[in-house]
Structure 1
């Protein structure tokens, strides 16, 4: 407890001392500006340049925007580059005008009379360069953090106060026994890990592109190899960054083990999905591009993630199915060993039609449809004699289940309709016949003859009769 109190008191004294020193420096600089001289003149020139460049930024931005709108056929990356240039036109104008004025003043007067102008031009150039370079960071929030951090560091560096700020940050530390952790150490660790993570991302993207171009590697092994490379590179970047700043990880081994056991019990489902994902990639039972059916979901595998598989259906819905369900559930993989899929269509014709002719016409109709394979010819068989029709089954093969199953069935049905209509083949359907019961029928049952109104009342009687034509 005493060590903690002493550390807090020391931290407070260091903070007050740093604030007092900074305030004294700023006060001295402001007092020097109150006296006429070249330092005041340079500050006024810098402010005037800033106002002028702001006006040029607005004016040239409108001109650049109008010019870009008149262009056609530009690619997306070109438009994004123009947008970034337009946002930083003020810094670019300040860099050009500031360096031009600095060079002129270096020739016509003493170098010390243009020092602050050169410093302002240097900062503007560095800020513009950082703004363009930070576009390499894709995440918007992380990009802003990197941009502002670099701007602050560059400003402190060119103002020659970086050493004093570093010393102040190093004094802001927490010490427990032999372990000492300062704010400067945390900042350096974040910077080093960020740089290593950026390099790891670039290497993983390059390696992933190379792996995906290799046709000798199956799609599932490509996904597994890419995941393994990413985990290895990012893990190495993290631990290398921690070791680079001098943090010893041996003392955290026991704590890390205990935390791992607790997470193992709390994240059983997540770990199960992770392991299931690795098993799927290793046994190649499901791979990107396969067409599967799982319950009521029918679609093709778009991506295989560490926790779930993305299945896209024909209507554009994307289902995220946990990997565990793909391992433990019954999955129909339409393209596991090959892409051949057999489809069946049931139909019936009238008893007055010749079954041999019907079978021949049905096979011709199936062959005329697109996507139906010719080297695996369709077949048609009689499967039964129904109440009002002769029942048939038409079987045909396709090789592209990703193109859909309902649409090809619909095309074959339309082909059957057309060819049956051309050859007078009838498709029966249930019909209802209405008969009128007259006076004779009533008397036969010993009943009173009905009135004229009653005699006209129809009585329905179910009956099925085949339709003998398409008309």
Structure 2
């Protein structure tokens, strides 16, 4: 018994479709109810286009007069405004179809009913697809559902399904058809959408729980997402009847190849899990890594987002946070001690200088009063007596350079008010007589030369 050729069956289906289209076009060229239905549909399309512009402007003006609307409400209004024409067409065509069903033969409104149903389904699909956040995936889901709805309305789903099922790859007892692949993608996509909604709800609940630390919140959210998406994938595969045991050897070989090719990715993933478990770094911490100083905005599966004071966002791999030397300014607490150095002239009393420095630092905003600043002499320099001024702050996220600058400015004002001078290096050059004589004999600086 010979198996049917999928390509020949495909050609036969295409030829039948073309022949049906030609027959429909010929029937529309001749006077009759099919032609009348097309004229009615064109008229309804023109009316819907006019209503789209009229009601769209009214809806836009009405929304502008409202205040306090959330973003999702505004997005929904935008989606409704874009599809007002289709919604008016579905409403008008459905009304005309119901009226014609009652006053004339059902066959005389058959095309109107098909178009009204298709447009209504298209509108519903467009709104339902908004649940898919990823734009390429949303377009894929939208077009896939539109095609299926169109085929279903034209009553050709069985023929198309038979053709897609005939295009298959068989390896022993394992058989994978194009229909199975498409069905699996659709089912898995639906399960992923449901998993995403559940994970977002769970994530919002976890983040509201103040008893859970920020790092454990991130770990819990990632664990819930991984679990839900994994369950969605396997449920989708099982729902379409794909037996994964036949792919065990192939998946093992692919896993070995991916293991060698994705070593850094896997290392970053494991490092991210370790960071979340040991709580060494958590969102909101202020860290320094090399020349990068900023606070952790988010902890991802592969990298950590660090935002600096100048607005730059660095994506640091998790592996670097594990293997490198990281300064966490707010690991155990938010208290940070800062040191600044300065010098005064030898003629100024060190006791007065230390007192003025402490008072000046204490009067600067952000400097903690219950951890009083201290000032010590650290050395006798060539031109000045050197001091160190130490003070504490509790908000490193507010910046370190700016608070140092404010303390320096307070020192300047206090020293200027009390006559404390800040010296600068000075050098005296003494020219010896022998050196002058040597220069004179050499003719340097006298304008004469020796021949």
Shift in alpha-carbon separation, 1:111–1:443, aligned structure 2, 3 A: closer
Deviation of 1:194 after TM superposition, in Å, equals: 0.4
Contact preservation (8 Å) 2:383, 2:426: no
| 1:355 corresponds to 2:350 | yes
Aligned to 2:219: 224
Moved more, 67-76 or 216-225: 67-76
> Per-residue displacement from partner, 1:9-35 (whole Å, max 9, x unpaired)?
611222133224333433443444344
Q: Following the alignment from structure 1 to structure 2, what is the Cα–Cα distance between the partners of residues 112 and 16?
A: 31
Aligned to 2:89: 94
Of 308, 314, 320, the residue aligned with 1:325 is 320
Secondary structure of 1:302's counterpart equals: strand
Deviation of 1:442 after TM superposition, in Å, equals: 6.9
Shift in alpha-carbon separation, 1:444–1:22, aligned structure 2, 3 A: closer
| 1:277 corresponds to 2:272 | yes
Q: Following the alignment from structure 1 to structure 2, what is the Cα–Cα distance between the partners of residues 208 and 317?
A: 27
Deviation of 1:184 after TM superposition, in Å, equals: 1.6
Secondary structure of 1:255's counterpart equals: helix
Q: Following the alignment from structure 2 to structure 1, what is the Cα–Cα distance between the partners of residues 411 and 29?
A: 98
Larger radius of gyration: 1
Deviation of 1:43 after TM superposition, in Å, equals: 2.1
Secondary structure of 1:211's counterpart equals: helix
CA-based RMSD: 2.9
Of 410, 418, 431, the residue aligned with 1:415 is 410
Deviation of 1:307 after TM superposition, in Å, equals: 1.7
> Per-residue displacement from partner, 1:130-186 (whole Å, max 9, x unpaired)?
222222222222111111111121122222222332233223333333322222211
Deviation of 1:379 after TM superposition, in Å, equals: 0.8
Q: Following the alignment from structure 1 to structure 2, what is the Cα–Cα distance between the partners of residues 374 and 176?
A: 77
Contact preservation (8 Å) 1:309, 1:323: yes
5 Å-filtered alignment, 1:169-248, equals 169-248=164-243
Contact preservation (8 Å) 2:371, 2:391: yes
5 Å-filtered alignment, 1:137-156, equals 137-156=132-151
Q: Following the alignment from structure 1 to structure 2, what is the Cα–Cα distance between the partners of residues 409 and 110?
A: 88
Aligned to 1:398: 393
Secondary structure of 1:352's counterpart equals: coil
Moved more, 367-376 or 15-24: 15-24
Shift in alpha-carbon separation, 1:86–1:183, aligned structure 2, 3 A: same
Q: Following the alignment from structure 1 to structure 2, what is the Cα–Cα distance between the partners of residues 390 and 110?
A: 108
Q: Following the alignment from structure 2 to structure 1, what is the Cα–Cα distance between the partners of residues 436 and 388?
A: 48
Q: Following the alignment from structure 2 to structure 1, what is the Cα–Cα distance between the partners of residues 68 and 26?
A: 57
Aligned to 2:254: 259
> Per-residue displacement from partner, 1:248-287 (whole Å, max 9, x unpaired)?
1112112222222222223222222222221111111111
Of 122, 130, 134, the residue aligned with 1:127 is 122
- Structure 2 unaligned residues grouped into runs of 5+: 447-451
Aligned to 2:158: 163
Task: Give the length in aligned residue pairs.
Answer: 443
Shift in alpha-carbon separation, 1:431–1:206, aligned structure 2, 3 A: same
Shift in alpha-carbon separation, 1:443–1:35, aligned structure 2, 3 A: closer
Q: Following the alignment from structure 1 to structure 2, what is the Cα–Cα distance between the partners of residues 446 and 238?
A: 96
Q: Following the alignment from structure 2 to structure 1, what is the Cα–Cα distance between the partners of residues 381 and 125?
A: 80
Shift in alpha-carbon separation, 1:74–1:214, aligned structure 2, 3 A: closer
Aligned to 1:22: 17
Contact preservation (8 Å) 1:443, 1:449: no
5 Å-filtered alignment, 1:322-471, equals 322-431=317-426
Aligned to 2:449: none
- Structure 1 unaligned residues grouped into runs of 5+: 456-471
Moved more, 96-105 or 281-290: 96-105
Q: Following the alignment from structure 1 to structure 2, what is the Cα–Cα distance between the partners of residues 97 and 303?
A: 50
Deviation of 1:76 after TM superposition, in Å, equals: 3.8
| 1:54 corresponds to 2:49 | yes
